[in-house]
Amino acid sequence: MAGASIVLILYGSLFPFRIRTDIDGGFFELIKTLEFKPTTRGDIIANLLLYLPLGLCLMFAWSGRARWPALARAMLIGTALAVAVELTQMYLRGRVSSLTDVALNMVSTLAGACGAIAYGALGTSVRLPFMASRPPDPAALSVVVLWLAFRLAPFVPTIDWQKYKDALKPLLIDPQIGGAELLRYVTGWLVAGYAVRLLTRREYTLAATLAIVGIVLLGRIVVVGKTLSLAELAALGISLPLAAVMIAMRDHWRVVVLAALLTAAIIAQGIAPFDLLSQPHAFSWMPFRSSLRGGLETNYSALLEKAFWYGSLVWLLARGGWSLLASTVGTASLVAAIEIVQMWLPGRSADITDVLLVLAAGFLLALPREHVGAPAAGVAPAGPRKSAWGSG
């Protein structure tokens, strides 16, 4: 999995692979121009996010070895890769090489590695009274983290009263609630709440869920570029009683309901604005093409959101009794069909990226248990047990 992270880093850092032909001087002259340069908030966050999976995967891969030597090796690999990327970018058009990026990538690798260490500690030396299992179920934990990530990106709080007032304006000035938006928020809160329920002991679940709600609502006010919407508040009002009803269901039926809601939400978001063009757009087979162009903050927020929706659906289908292979293929087929429809939708770009995100989610869920820890029996799949990639 660390290898896949490296491939993703190289792809995102070197795209669109246009080589410069106007280079003066040799390699060592170019190295002399490598220095710390000012950067934008979007670049800072993107560089901090990019190497997180690498540090995480390297530490999981070396989970059976001594902790601090493994951390040192992960940092060495992350730093060497960052330096190599910046040097290569000197030969590419549209890319700016900077030691600032190297420093951010080092911090990102360290953060990912420390995250893996912290996760391992939750199952051994650190014991939290509210945890349902040690270590916590990695899939449910990922769902909660992705929900918080896409709701709070770009993760930059501010002390600005005008910003706070702007964040509340959608509630006061021409408040509107769209059906698709309401479905999106209701589904997201129910899925996140279900994941919290699997992570916490029953007596702590309500408090933990309310804490997540408070973090998101407060974050939407204080984080730059975020606002509160009436649809989200209305969705919370709907989700809480629905969650109370779902608690009385058998776990299998809870999973079925959530998977159905997720499917409906993904379809509704994918085919908006529901107006077909007479001529289709071209389909792009180049992964992440649209995500690597335009505003970085908007693009990585969109990727985090898609990772939440698609990963959650694969996870829930697998918990509902499908094999992980069937869950992944089924979700990928749904997403592929939506991408085909988007060829006829205005303002949408159809490409292979979303399908690859689904396949990545399925692959991550199939990682060997010794790398990420096995969930406790209390959070086992709701349906019949099946092997990772098939029945049996």
Per-residue pLDDT of the chain (392 residues; tens, 9 = 90+): 778 889 989 998 888 888 877 776 667 777 777 889 888 888 899 899 999 999 999 998 887 778 889 999 999 999 999 999 999 998 888 788 899 999 999 999 999 999 999 888 886 777 788 888 778 889 999 999 999 999 999 899 999 999 999 999 988 887 888 888 999 999 999 999 999 999 999 999 999 999 999 999 999 999 999 999 999 999 999 998 999 899 889 999 999 999 999 999 999 999 987 888 888 988 988 888 777 776 777 788 889 999 999 999 999 999 999 999 999 999 999 999 999 999 999 888 889 999 999 999 998 888 754 444 444 333 344 544 333 223 33
CB 246 within 8 A of CB 257: yes
* Domain residue ranges in the chain: 2-122, 138-379
Smallest CA-to-CA distance from 190 within 270, 132, 269, 254 is with 254
Rounded distance between C-alpha atoms, residue 304 and residue 151, angstroms? 9
So what's the pLDDT on residue 52? 94
Cis peptide before 384 (omega within 30 of 0): no
Rounded distance between C-alpha atoms, residue 300 and residue 292, angstroms? 9
Helix, strand, or coil here: 343?
A: coil
Rounded distance between C-alpha atoms, residue 206 and residue 197, angstroms? 8
Terminal alpha carbon distance of the chain: 25
So what's the pLDDT on residue 391? 31
Rounded distance between C-alpha atoms, residue 140 and residue 379, angstroms? 9
- Cα angle 354, 359, 363 (rounded to 5 degrees) comes to 145
So what's the pLDDT on residue 370? 45
So what's the pLDDT on residue 378? 35
- Cα angle 290, 295, 182 (rounded to 5 degrees) comes to 80
The residue type of 386 is K
Rounded distance between C-alpha atoms, residue 338 and residue 76, angstroms? 42
Q: What is the full DSSP assignment across 352-380? A: SHHHHHHHHHHHHHTS-HHHH-PPPGGGS
Q: What is the full DSSP assignment across 22-52? A: ---S-HHHHHHT-------HHHHHHHHHHTH
Cis peptide before 154 (omega within 30 of 0): yes
CB 219 within 8 A of CB 151: yes
The pTM of this model reads: 0.87
Smallest CA-to-CA distance from 150 within 12, 41, 308 is with 308
Burial of 241 from C-beta contacts in 10 A (0-12 / 13-18 / 19+): exposed
